[in-house]
Structure 1
Amino acid sequence: MKISNENVFTNVYLPNTNEIDVLSIISKAIAGKINIDEQEIKSGFLSREALGSTALGGKVAIPHANSSDVNEIQTFVFTFDNQIDWRSEDGEPVNIVIALIMPRNNHQEDYQEIVDDLRNDLKDNILVDKLQSSLDDPDSLVELLSETTVQK
């Protein structure tokens, strides 16, 4: 699973600051970027959030969904110009979203392991602080995330 600058969206404007509106916005951006079914992605994100918040703390969330239109994991990073109420573990609003789109196939357990590994990587306060300092710099965001599960 790799990330590139083309899949980084910085300083995204949000007319509303709740997770449902944000998931709609990122679903549309992702679907347009890689030509996949927007509704399938949005439904997947919402279904996953219904199980529990994907906000980790440190102002970071990692929503993830499956798509029948992708053959390998696609990773996207979004930073926002304002804070999002996302029911995070630490009660802090979110301003960085790392969205994963995973193939819909027989490897779901492997994908959950990848999500869990990324969640663990993002518990590193130093990494999270550096991400927070790079909100408007796609190159730095990609470089910082290159040491995480996202690039392995």
Structure 2
Amino acid sequence: MSDTSLTIDNILAPALTLCQVPASSKKRVLEFIAERIHYQDETLNDNDIFNNLVSRERLGSTGIGQGIAIPHCRLEGLDRVIGVLMTLAEPVDFDAIDNQPVDLVFALVVPKEATSEHLELLSQLAERFNDSAFCERLRKCQDADSLYKGMTTDSQ
């Protein structure tokens, strides 16, 4: 993985962009992410993904504030970066730094050895989600298609 041109646009697939996901807790959000990734690629074990996401959360919440979370983890044996974008039907407590519940989630699962790519993508996400007007547009999306377009065509 020496491709330094990784962007949010080329790691997010329409099939992993989900609108108004019903989730009652942070744990359920992480389970849902793992299940969706496994559903997209059955060679990836949903329990491994879930456990890695949970381990990362134990180090400190990935709730970055303003109702946004960027759960992420590294995965042994993965050969590409996977992004999952979702809005939640109801905000859930994510132990975010500002104690606000989360309703906008972008999960990132990266190959175990992709350190610089991982950090670069987290930086891109943080920068994009720092734009409150951009986040508001995503929250207003009523279906996965408009959510996907909202995330990928708004490169700044």
Q: Compute the TM-score of the two structures, normalised by the length of structure 2.
A: 0.82
Q: Does the Cα contact within 8 Å between 1:37 and 1:69 map onto a contact in 2?
A: no
Residue 90 of structure 1: aligned partner: 98
Deviations 1:65-123 (A, max 9, x none): 22234311111112222111001233221112111111122x31331222122112211
Q: Tell me how far apart the structure 2 counterparts of residues 25 and 7 of structure 1 sit (CA, whole Å).
A: 11
SS in 2 for 1:41: helix
Residue 66 of structure 2: aligned partner: 58
SS in 1 for 2:12: coil
Q: Does the Cα contact within 8 Å between 1:63 and 1:97 map onto a contact in 2?
A: yes
Q: Which residues in structure 2 correspond to 1:1-152 (within 5 Å)?
A: 1-14=10-23, 17-35=24-42, 36-105=44-113, 107-134=114-141, 136-146=142-152, 147-148=154-155
SS in 1 for 2:89: strand
Identical counterparts, % of pairs: 24
Q: Tell me how far apart the structure 2 counterparts of residues 55 and 89 of structure 1 sit (CA, whole Å).
A: 6
Q: Tell me how far apart the structure 2 counterparts of residues 48 and 109 of structure 1 sit (CA, whole Å).
A: 17
Q: Compute the TM-score of the two structures, normalised by the length of structure 1.
A: 0.84
- Indicate the RMSD between aligned Cα atoms, in angstroms: 1.9
Q: Tell me how far apart the structure 1 counterparts of residues 41 and 97 of structure 2 sit (CA, whole Å).
A: 31
- Unaligned 5+ residue runs, structure 2? 1-9
Structure 1 runs (4+) greater than 4 angstroms displaced: none
Q: Does the Cα contact within 8 Å between 1:118 and 1:148 map onto a contact in 2?
A: no
Number of matched residues?
145
AA aligned to 1:4 is A
Q: Tell me how far apart the structure 2 counterparts of residues 121 and 87 of structure 1 sit (CA, whole Å).
A: 21
Q: Does the Cα contact within 8 Å between 1:58 and 1:128 map onto a contact in 2?
A: no
Q: Does the Cα contact within 8 Å between 2:16 and 2:36 map onto a contact in 1?
A: no
